[in-house]
Amino acid sequence: MRRSGGFVRSVITSESLQVDLAAKQVSLQHTPLDITAFEYQILEYLMRHCHEVVAKQRLLDVIYADKEGDPNTIEVMISRLRKKLSHGGMNDPITTIRGQGYKFNHPCD
């Protein structure tokens, strides 16, 4: 969330993608996306760190906090997010940086 004019913004946008932080909802081209809670957490984190490479282990820490998570789970969730965003018209939303992690490819505000 960024401050603008003294209030905290509760929406992150990137082109036609909107993540409503307060409602924990995602819409693409004004159409709600059906994503899981874990997919939401990953997308929100990647968008908050736009254009940064985020390590797979960091994403595991974000979604599982105190529990052990399987790294393959992240790969599956990233794949599902890519499909959902691509079907909604967003080209190449998330890139895999081999050996480093993942990066959200579009500008966010």
| Distance, CA of 13 to chain centre | 11
Domain residue ranges in the chain: 3-104
Average pLDDT in the 26-47 region?
96
Q: Residue 3: its pLDDT value, please?
A: 46
Residue 17 burial (10 A CB sphere; 0-12, 13-18, 19+): buried
Would the pLDDT of 15 be above 50? yes
Q: Which of 3-7, 37-41, 68-72, 88-92 has the highest mean pLDDT?
A: 37-41
In the predicted structure, residue 32 carries a pLDDT above the cut 90:
yes
Residue 1, pLDDT score: 44
pTM of whole model > 0.85?
yes
CATH architecture, domain 3-104: Orthogonal Bundle (1.10)
Which residues neighbour 6 within 8 Å (Cβ) at sequence distance 6 or greater? none
